[in-house]
Amino acid sequence: MSTSIPAQQRDDVSGGAAGFSRVPPQDLDAEQSVIGSLLLSGSDSSRFFAEILETGITAGEYYRPAHATIHRAVCDLRAAGEPVDVITVAAELTRRGELTRVGGASYLHTCVQAVPTAANGAHYAEIVRAKAYRRAVIESAQRIVEFAYSEAGDGAEVRDLVERQLTEIVAGTPGLQAAPPTVGDLYLDFVADLEDVQNGRQLGLPYGFADLDQVTSGMRPGNVTVVGAASGIGKSTFALNAAVSAAKTGAPVMFSSLEMSGTELMQKIAAAEGKIALHHLTNEGLLSPEGWEKVRLLGPELFRTLPLRVYRPDGAALGDIASAARACARDGGLALLVVDYLQLVEVAQSRTATREQAVASVSRGLKNLSVELDCHVIALSQLNDSGEMRESRAIKNDASVVIKIQRPDAEEPQSPRSGEVDLVVEKNRFGPAPVTITVAAQLHYSRFVDMNRT
């Protein structure tokens, strides 16, 4: 970062250095970049603003008081639902009589120009927080040293001061985890879940297939379902059916597809929900007036109220999917994330990493994301010629439920079981396994349904 704070604007820097005999830890370039990132990403459509504040950074953690003043103005505007940019923040600081003290409107522009990319705003904020923590450690240590030199108080008072200072500094450690709950803390939640189980109430979101929901108790937060199938068998159809079924309960869902566009996914949902032949929606001149009427009704009756988001990342990075999922969680919540499909997702790996290690890393990343966001994840996976998850056994280890989709008529068109689909539950942490559940394939409608609905 080449943009520095002009000498005439450094007058108030020492104000944050009380008690220091040397220049305390600080990074003014990082502070400028945090302020600049907030000013650049203050629109409602930007997720970077929220990601910066989610680091926990506060005005008191800036070394330069002017930056703290700007930060408070930015947060107050945001809390009031006002737009945040250089113009609005300058106006707010003027109203407070603080614009000149922070260096004028020109300094706000200086902060914006100092930012390499607002996407890294959260990283800059972590740097600022780390420096602030080091200053807090030094201040606490100095208080202890000064009290010890003063010879004031008795031994008990010295111990009390030391304990209080150390407790405060440890409690303020960035990223410090709280102690895990005791079983006593968990007991009431356990009893509530037990009552649901005994009374036959489903604990998780519905897949949309009665027998599968009964066997698994639905899709529970913090867990992963892996759905495996050979190419063309219907794993995307199953996952999209499950996503719509969950969204119909009011649960917010995000479907991330690395294969299909938003238009293709909309065609499949419309075919399934409107009972419209899929090829009528994808080929010229085949949609009848009756079909058009069904499509028209799907708007107000389904699509405008369904809390289902469709995300197709520009690349295939796990980080992009995770960022979009976190944005959904902030904007209305996220109960179910569907990733179609595992082997297409990419993660940063060393050059020596094998393909199996890369897929295992994706699998572990999705499991961690389900826990972080307290949502369920459906991860689709290709099967190899032997019917196993392609490239990695770790996929099974990270999953709570593993379902393989098999169609008897896929290899034998004249099979007496033509039109049937087996959902083979190979792993199930919440019930019996292996279990085979048979449903009907209505692929012309791009859907699977319970046998009693055919």
Are 215 and 428 spatial neighbours (Cβ–Cβ below 8 Å)?
yes
pLDDT at 159 over 80: no
**Which pLDDT value is given to residue 20?**
56
pLDDT tens-digit readout, 188-224: 888 888 887 777 776 789 999 999 998 998 999 999 9
Rounded to whole angstroms, how far apart are CA atoms 277 and 54? 46
Lowest-pLDDT range of 62-76, 233-247, 309-323, 393-407: 309-323
**Which pLDDT value is given to residue 396?**
82
pLDDT, average across residues 284-310: 89
User: How wide is the angle at C-alpha 342 spanned by C-alphas 338 and 343, nearest 5°?
Assistant: 155
pLDDT at 268 over 80: yes
pLDDT at 87 over 90: yes
Report the CATH fold assignment for 201-453: Rossmann fold (3.40.50)
The neighbouring-strand residues paired with 256 are 311, 339
pLDDT, average across residues 258-275: 88
pLDDT at 442 over 50: yes
pLDDT, average across residues 64-75: 94
Are 215 and 437 spatial neighbours (Cβ–Cβ below 8 Å)?
yes
pLDDT, average across residues 97-122: 91
pLDDT, average across residues 125-153: 85
Question: What is the largest distance, in Å, between two alpha-carbon atoms of the chain?
Answer: 95
Report the CATH fold assignment for 7-171: DNAb Helicase; Chain A (1.10.860)
pLDDT at 15 over 60: no
pLDDT at 318 over 90: no
The residue type found at 158 is V
Predicted confidence band at 380 (pLDDT cuts at 50, 70, 90)?
A: very high
pLDDT, average across residues 308-315: 84
Residue for token pair 């203050």: 42
Cα distances (angstroms) measured from residue 114 to each of 61, 62, 92, 320:
19, 16, 22, 25
pLDDT at 16 over 60: no
Using alpha carbons, select from 28, 3, 29, 41 the residue that is nearest to residue 118.
Answer: 41
Using alpha carbons, select from 413, 368, 363 the residue that is nearest to residue 389.
Answer: 363
Are 219 and 205 spatial neighbours (Cβ–Cβ below 8 Å)?
yes
> In percent, how much of the chain has pLDDT > 90?
35
Using alpha carbons, select from 75, 88, 87, 107 the residue that is nearest to residue 11.
Answer: 107
Instruction: Kindly report whether the peptide bond that precedes residue 434 is cis, defined as omega within 30 degrees of 0.
Output: yes
pLDDT at 49 over 90: no
Report CA 49 to chain centroid distance, whole Å: 15
For the chain, domain boundaries = 7-171, 201-453
